[in-house]
Amino acid sequence: MNSKKKHPKNYYHVCMLEYQKRLIEKHYTFLKCEIDSERKKLICTGQIMLNEHCDNYKVKITYIYGKEPHCQIVEPFNINPCKEIHMYEDHSLCLSYPPDMKWTAWTEVYKYTIPWLVEWVLYYEIFLVNGGKWEGPESPTHFTELERNKCESED
């Protein structure tokens, strides 16, 4: 008799999404996360405000099991997307350089993506006050819209 329990098709993906969700919510109280088990993705939203003199940034992180998270600045929407600030036309951000960071199902979103997202907000605020010079770290090559990290739901 086989004692192995048969799990639904998405069981392991949903378990890993739950693992990521718990780590994110444990370390970052400004984010609220929900799991879309049908589409096998985790969606986290929240607001980042560095201090009372800076804008309030509404952010959205979409993580599909095993893929690099897709991060967007939802508000303020008056930001002009361009290479200089590492922002694509859909207001998603270029936060990592693929040859340096290989995403796997075990890469912890809370440890990498969220600090990079907060860091992007900081460097963008500096960009606004220093005459449009990006002070943050950059990859050796600039991205193109075709290289943008897309959510599967966009395809």
Residue 114 belongs to a domain with what CATH number? 3.10.110.10
Examine residue 2 and state whether it is found in any structural domain, yes or no: no
Q: How many domains does the chain have?
A: 1
Which structural domain range is residue 40 located in?
11-154
Examine residue 140 and state whether it is found in any structural domain, yes or no: yes
Read off the pTM.
0.84
pLDDT per residue over 79-107, tens digit each? 999 989 999 999 999 888 777 778 888 89
pLDDT per residue over 128-143, tens digit each? 999 999 998 877 665 6
Q: Which residue has the higher pLDDT, 6 or 133?
A: 133
Residue 151 has a pLDDT of 64
Examine residue 103 and state whether it is found in any structural domain, yes or no: yes
Examine residue 5 and state whether it is found in any structural domain, yes or no: no
Residue in 67, 72, 71, 130 with CA at minimum distance from that of residue 101 = 67
pLDDT per residue over 33-65, tens digit each? 999 877 789 999 999 999 998 889 999 999 998
Examine residue 50 and state whether it is found in any structural domain, yes or no: yes
Examine residue 1 and state whether it is found in any structural domain, yes or no: no
